[in-house]
Structure 1
Amino acid sequence: METNNLIGIDLSFLDIATILVYFLAVFAIAWWASRRERSQNESADYFLAGRDVGWFVVGASLFASNIGSEHLIGLAGSGFAEGLPVAQYEILAGLALLMLGWIFVPFYLKSNVSTMPEFLEKRYDSKSRVYLSVVSIIGYVLTKISVTIYAGGIVFEAIGVNFWVGAFVLVVATGIYTIFGGLKAVVYTDMVQMFVLVGGALAVTFFGLQELGGWGKMTEVVDPEFFSLWRDAEDTNYPWTGILFGAPILGIWYWCTDQFIVQRVLSARDETNARKGTIFAGYLKMLPLFIFVLPGIVAYALVQQGSLHIAEPNDTLPVLAQAVLPVGLRGLVIAGLFAALMSSLSSVFNSCSTLITLDFYKKYKPTSTEHELVVVGQVSTVILVIFGLLWIPFMEYFSNQLFLYLQSVQAYIAPPITAVFLVGLFYKRLNSKGSITSLITGFVLGFLRFFLELYKDSLSGFWYELATINFLHFALLLFVICTVILIAVSLLTEKPDEEQIKDVVYRKAVDQSQVSERSIWWTLGLLGIIAFLWIYFS
């Protein structure tokens, strides 16, 4: 694999000091969080931060965990190449987070689950739980862990450190505080990393616009099409039909059902804090349009003026940072890249170890002590760290394109999971047979699409059309198929036990004590911002 696709950034002593201060701050916060007062439930402390996290930390952790290198590097590159449309995913995330807070959170907290597979078991049966656990763990290992380690090596390489040394440092450093601090260390370091991420990106945006001559100058130089969030239905990457109908399916899976994200909400001290945290995260997700995508358009405008040279889109952020940022602030941008990588990696380490411990070890050894569960979680994280280190030498045998394909697998496994969670909340007639049939069917069809896409150049006719249909359109089609199968099989088989599912299906009675007027107004405000962005940038 080529590792030199991110150009170097020249760093001064002040920049290096900024990066070192960032690392020291992260470890100091992790140490402080791990030393905080603990409850008697040791495993809840380790895996769910004692279920006592406030809304601000929940929201900041949701945002920081989500922001990876693909955001800082990829969104700027997409902005440079195509303009604003890629920001649709960030805007839609705001809607998905509102769904998480208002629709899913009450069920998750009332059922007192610790993992998303455990919730599926309460709603359906143990087969559905095992399916989701296995798919999630394999997905985390093959995509999130490997891609984040790879990106970390590239970032280190950009500042003059050997790729393999950099990847090793990233894995070990992140693994240390994740192993000893658990989710409490993860969410509190995420909070700090949120400020670093936003600060670094804001610096690039501000100085980039200043170098260009302001917003007005940018709109004069750049084609108006760059400032439109909407593309034709036939567009290869961002068809409006796929954005409106396909992307939300992936968004619900990622933001509302994935352990990687929802574990932060499960750590909230109550439903009110959990909901406020999701709303706060929704507001934060409006920022990437301006601080991640917009710098790409600024860079494009500077290239059009002849003030900048960019060889390929992925070079956009480092080239722009090198050109416009003063001494000291370049280090902040690099620290922001490390923040994105470490927050994502620590989150996936913790979430993966939680699934291994609670969905497998505790499930098959229910007499385990609290301390034993924590030790298993720590050992699981150590194994993941070792796997990550062992995985590094093999990365050179993988092409960048294959990594993109591995990432796309997530889009193909999402629709059936979204169906069994979302429809399952509102239609109590659905049963375990319908769930597992829908999940397996979706898995088979998703991987069929994956392999067809790998070999699309040798296909023709129907199979070629299936392999090349936009993945958002395919996600919508797969969701419809899985939903139909879920309902049909359930109706053709026995009814579920109503006593078993009473806490995991919708009831007309709503607990008004957990709904604050302020949350309603903040929700309406976020919806207003989304509507404004869609209209203004249309």
Structure 2
Amino acid sequence: MENQIDADLAVLDYIVIAGYLGIVVAIGVWVARQTKTGEDLFLAGRSLGWAAIGFSLFASNISTSTLVGLTGSAYSGGLAVSAYEWMAGIPLLLMAFVFAPVFLKSRISTTPEYLEKRYSRRVRLYFSGLTIVFTVIVDTAGGLYAGAVVMRVFFPGVDIWMFCVGIGIFAGIYTALGGLKAVVYTDILQAVVLLLGTALTAFLMFQSVDFSWATVQDQVPDGNLSIVQPIDDDTLPWPGLFTGVWLLGFWYWVTNQYIVQRVLGAKDLSRAQWGAILGGVLKILPTFFIILPGVMAVVTLPDISAPDQVFPIIITEVLPAGLTGLVLAGLIAAIMSSVDSTLNSSSTLLVNDFLTRKGREPEPEQQKKWGTWATLGFMVIAIIWAPFIQYFGGLWDYIQQAFSVLVPPLVVCFTLGALWSRGTASAAFWTLIGGHLLGLCVFVANQFGIWPLHFTINVTIMTLVSAAIFVGLSLMGDRDDVDEDALWTREAAFDTDAANAPFLKNVKTHAWILGALMIGTLILFW
């Protein structure tokens, strides 16, 4: 990769990057001085406003693999991959009006804790343990490795393991000291840098084709400018587009602790709802700021051999000095916003789900100390594992698809658990076990060509199967006593200041606007 890219940075680029890192350090130090208790560390003292929640949701989601992977996929396969971005609005709307009311009413600290309130402790611990493993080994280590690979383009003389250590320590220390509030406040800065850098990149790429969409249409392969693809498409067949994509997003935006933690830290339900809606609106932007530049690169940079080279080449070929530093700072922001979020959420799960028991709660200061050491411990594990990912390239691709195994029973247990009081604890536990085992069998069969359906279609089928298991076992068993706070009610969801405000300030109005933006994106690139 280094042989094909002239990645020399100007002095101005280094100044921009250094300035950005300096601001991050200042934020981390400032917040760390205010972090006194476990609730401060894990949930920012439940004091987050809607703007902080929305921007942090966006920044934590945009990882290095997003910038590099989506741009490369758009270059080779077109706009279909954009669905994973703009369709995030669907699970975020579910979060705003179904799950945020339930989660905040229950006063939970982790998403697995909700499963204990609704079902049983064994359901909670099963999901929590699974989440910690996936978060540290896949998300944190994967973020470190992907970031190190891209940074090596610009600094070819530095080994991958050195980048992993440097990024991990930098993000890990301010996360361990400042907790969620440090993560969120740095995420706001990172979101702004990301949006500015990618918006400038998109503008300059459009300028490179003389601002002519007709030129792009003439030179991009047929079908690459369409989101809706045939049923046999390898990237995203149309049934998977309309059903599988948002189901996969459900795991990420509704049940994944490292994202949901921001909503749990909201000052009140209104701010949580506004934050989720803002996050959905911001997720429309990557289609235009990240994915379209990848498509336009087919016209201006037609000879790129490997898709993962597209984003670094765009930066070095298109951007002038200073702006290259800004976009590279955005890239560093993407790396750190993912790493800090996953570290903080993993420590939150360990301390709240495994080390804390009802009736034996630790002192707030002790809880903070446990969280700090847990964050540092997970940081070490991720740093050690990350460089080894380069030796498991094929396996690593499979692991990304393996998330489709994890999702279906979780969608069922959370959704039917909140909406259907008849669902039982025993049914939830065996739905998780059975759904994951069946999903694993389908995944293995898919890798050997025995079950050839695309994984986005598989996730839909397995969700229906998991729902059948859950409903059948619940109806066969005895009815449980259910905590009313763990069930959704219309009054709890819509009896908020944001939902009762005048039309233009009403969160329901803005939810309809988000829905219209998603439909508009689909129609625009149908």
* Structure-1-length-normalised TM-score: 0.93
Counterpart check, 1:483 vs 2:467? yes
Conserved 8 A contact 2:145-2:387: no
Instruction: Encode CA deviations 1:134-184: one digit per residue, 9 max, x unaligned.
Output: 110111122112211111211321111332211111011011100100111
> Residue 519 of structure 1 corresponds to which residue in structure 2?
507
Conserved 8 A contact 2:142-2:386: no
Instruction: Encode CA deviations 1:76-112: one digit per residue, 9 max, x unaligned.
Output: 1111111111001111101211111111100000000
Cα displacement (A) at 1:212: 1.7
Conserved 8 A contact 2:50-2:275: yes
Conserved 8 A contact 1:431-1:495: yes
Out of 372, 375, 381, the position equivalent to 1:378 is 372
> Residue 43 of structure 1 corresponds to which residue in structure 2?
38
Cα displacement (A) at 1:215: 3.4
Out of 422, 425, 441, the position equivalent to 1:429 is 422
Cα displacement (A) at 1:513: 3.3
**Count of aligned residue pairs for this structure pair:** 517
Deviates more, 1:149-158 or 1:82-91: 149-158
Counterpart check, 1:200 vs 2:201? no
Conserved 8 A contact 2:75-2:294: yes
CA-based RMSD of the aligned residues comes to 1.8
Instruction: Encode CA deviations 1:10-59: one digit per residue, 9 max, x unaligned.
Output: 211111111111111111122222234x68xx211110000001100000
Paired with 1:318 and 1:50, the residues of 2 have a C-alpha distance of 39
> Residue 233 of structure 1 corresponds to which residue in structure 2?
231
Out of 478, 498, 504, the position equivalent to 2:486 is 504
> Residue 144 of structure 1 corresponds to which residue in structure 2?
139
- Secondary structure of 2:267's counterpart equals coil
> Residue 478 of structure 2 corresponds to which residue in structure 1?
494
* Structure 2: tracts of 5 or more residues without a match: none
Letter in 1 for 2:124: R
Paired with 1:84 and 1:98, the residues of 2 have a C-alpha distance of 23
Cα displacement (A) at 1:389: 2.6
Cα displacement (A) at 1:205: 0.9
Equivalence map 1:463-482=2 (5 Å) = 464-466=449-451, 468-482=452-466
Conserved 8 A contact 1:5-1:314: no
Instruction: Encode CA deviations 1:387-423: one digit per residue, 9 max, x unaligned.
Output: 123224533432x221111222222111101110011
Paired with 1:28 and 1:428, the residues of 2 have a C-alpha distance of 48
> Residue 461 of structure 1 corresponds to which residue in structure 2?
none
Paired with 2:397 and 2:390, the residues of 1 have a C-alpha distance of 15
Conserved 8 A contact 2:223-2:229: no
> Residue 57 of structure 1 corresponds to which residue in structure 2?
52
Paired with 2:387 and 2:77, the residues of 1 have a C-alpha distance of 34
Letter in 2 for 1:533: T
Out of 158, 163, 166, the position equivalent to 2:160 is 163
Cα displacement (A) at 1:506: 2.5
Cα distance change on mapping 1:6 and 1:31 into 2, 3 Å = farther
Letter in 1 for 2:479: K
Paired with 1:284 and 1:79, the residues of 2 have a C-alpha distance of 19
Q: After the TM superposition, list the runs of 4 or more consecutive aligned residues in structure 1 that deviate by more than 4 angstroms.
A: 3-8
> Residue 301 of structure 1 corresponds to which residue in structure 2?
299
Letter in 1 for 2:408: P
> Residue 459 of structure 1 corresponds to which residue in structure 2?
none
Cα distance change on mapping 1:390 and 1:476 into 2, 3 Å = same
Counterpart check, 1:32 vs 2:30? yes
> Residue 348 of structure 1 corresponds to which residue in structure 2?
342
Conserved 8 A contact 2:78-2:295: yes
- Secondary structure of 1:522's counterpart equals helix
Out of 63, 80, 87, the position equivalent to 1:85 is 80
Paired with 2:135 and 2:429, the residues of 1 have a C-alpha distance of 21
Letter in 1 for 2:27: I
Paired with 2:88 and 2:369, the residues of 1 have a C-alpha distance of 35
Cα distance change on mapping 1:388 and 1:294 into 2, 3 Å = same
Cα displacement (A) at 1:508: 4.7
> Residue 460 of structure 1 corresponds to which residue in structure 2?
none
Counterpart check, 1:69 vs 2:64? yes
- Secondary structure of 2:236's counterpart equals coil
Paired with 1:528 and 1:415, the residues of 2 have a C-alpha distance of 27
Equivalence map 1:125-524=2 (5 Å) = 125-160=120-155, 161-216=158-213, 217-223=215-221, 225-304=223-302, 309-363=303-357, 366-398=360-392, 400-454=393-447, 456=448, 464-466=449-451, 468-498=452-482, 501-510=483-492, 512-514=495-497, 515-517=499-501, 518-524=506-512
Paired with 2:390 and 2:164, the residues of 1 have a C-alpha distance of 13
Cα displacement (A) at 1:67: 0.7
Cα distance change on mapping 1:131 and 1:4 into 2, 3 Å = farther
Paired with 1:445 and 1:21, the residues of 2 have a C-alpha distance of 50
Conserved 8 A contact 2:101-2:488: no
Letter in 2 for 1:475: V
Counterpart check, 1:531 vs 2:513? no
Paired with 1:64 and 1:478, the residues of 2 have a C-alpha distance of 30
Conserved 8 A contact 1:6-1:155: no
Paired with 1:528 and 1:419, the residues of 2 have a C-alpha distance of 27
Cα distance change on mapping 1:4 and 1:382 into 2, 3 Å = farther
Cα displacement (A) at 1:240: 0.9
Conserved 8 A contact 2:78-2:225: yes
Out of 114, 134, 156, the position equivalent to 2:109 is 114
